[in-house]
Amino acid sequence: MTFLKTSKTLKAGSKTLPRNYYTQPDILRQEFINIFQNNWICIGRNSDLTDKGQYITVQLGDESAIVLKDKKDEIKAFFNVCRHRGTRICNNQEGKFSNTIQCPYHGWTYDLNGKLVGSPHMEKINDFKKIDYPLFPIQIKEWEGFIFLNLSDNPISFNQAFKPIERRFQSWDLQDLSVIDKKTYQVNCNWKLIIQNYCECYHCPMIHPQLAEIHNYLGGRNDFFKGPFLGGYMDFNLDKESITSSGKYCCPPLKNIKGNDLRRVYYYSLFPNMLLSLHPEYVMYHTVWPNGPDKCIVNCSWLFLKESAISNKDSIYEAIDFWDKTNQQDWQICEYSQLGINSTKYSPAPYSGQESLLAAYDNYYISQME
C-alpha cells in the first residue's frame, strides 16, 4: 500500500491518525527514512561506553551504526558498512574492539577513528589509496550525559535543533546522574502508541489507580505544546512527595531542585523516540524503537545521583518497581489499542480536551513524513 498523505485526512491534528499509520510496512519504511534516519535520535547514555574500544550497534531500518569509544576516550559513530564490498562489519549488539575494527569478509581493517589501515592484496591495484576508503562517519552529540546520533548527510545542527530545551533541565544536573537500573520491554504495538500514551494522563484513573493517588490527572500544565518537544508538569497531591510506592521520597531530592520543582513531576517527549520524566530525586527516561509495524522495543532507565543510590539502595526500588509496574500497565493497554486498530472497523475519532499533546504530536509527525 502506498504512503497515505495524511495532511488531507487529519485536519489540525484534531482526530486520531488513520489505521494505515499503525499497521502498514510501507509507512514504517517511510518513518525510518524520513524520521529515524533524519533526526537526532537518543541511543543511550555516555556511561554505556566506559572503556576504550567498547562499542554498541544501533539499527534504524536498513541502516546500522557502530558507536564506540576511541583511544582518546571520545565517542565516535560510523555506518556499519565495510568500504570494500559493503559487508556489515559488526553483527553483535555490543562488544569491545582491541585496537582495530576488522571486516569478517576480506579482512579490511580500520582504526577506531574509522581510518582504513589494512587492505589485504590491494597493494597492486592502480591508484588505490587507503586514505580514500575510511568508514563513513555519523554525526554524534553528547548532551546532558545522553548520546544522540543523526544519520542524515546534512543534519540540522544539534545546538540549533535543541535550542528550545538547551537549559530547560539544568536544575536536575542530568550529566551527573548515573543509570542505576535499566529494563527492556518487548511490546506488541506500533511505536507511536507508546509515545501517544505517554503524552496524556486521560487514561490514568482507569489504568494507573496507584499513580492517580499521587497526582491528579487534571492537575498539570504544559510548557511545550507544539513542535518536536512536548510536555510539562503535574503537581503531586498534598500528602505526596514523589512517584514511589510509598508516595514519599525514595532518596534525598537532587541538590538544585527547589521551590515548585519539589512538588512536581515533569513529563516530556523529545521527538521522535525519547521520553524524559523528571522527579525531585530521580530521573527516568525511555527510548522507543520500532520493530515492525505492530511491534516495538522500549528501553527504560532510572537515573540517580550515585551516592544517593548507594546510601538508599533499598528505598530507590520504591521508585523503580513502581514505574516498572506502571510501564507494564501502559504496554498492556497499548497492545489492546493495537488489536483494536487492526480491525477494519477502526476509524479516526476526535481527541478529548485532555489529549491536546497527542494532536500536537500527530501534526509534527505528519510534517516530518511529507
Tens digit of each residue's pLDDT (9 = 90 or more) over 288-306: 999 999 999 999 999 999 9
Tens digit of each residue's pLDDT (9 = 90 or more) over 105-121: 999 999 999 999 999 99
Residue 10 has pLDDT above 90, yes or no: no
Cβ–Cβ < 8 Å for 268, 164:
no
**What is the average pLDDT across 11-34?**
90
Bridge partners, 68 (sequence order): 55, 76
Those residues whose C-beta lies under 8 Å from the C-beta of residue 133, and which sit 6 or more positions away, are 83, 84, 108, 116, 119
Domains of the chain in sequence order: 41-161 (2.102.10.10), 167-369 (3.90.380.10)
**What is the average pLDDT across 271-289?**
98
Instruction: Report pLDDT for 14.
Output: 80
Banded model confidence at residue 220, pLDDT cuts 50, 70, 90: confident
Roughly how many angstroms between the first and final C-alpha of the chain, as a whole number? 16
Banded model confidence at residue 170, pLDDT cuts 50, 70, 90: very high
| CA angle, residues 276, 277, 278, in degrees to nearest 5 | 115
What sign does the CA torsion over 328, 329, 332, 338 have? Answer: negative
Cβ–Cβ < 8 Å for 80, 89:
yes
Q: Give how far Cα 337 sits from Cα of 16, 78, 204, 352, Å.
A: 12, 37, 15, 16
Residue 11 has pLDDT above 90, yes or no: no
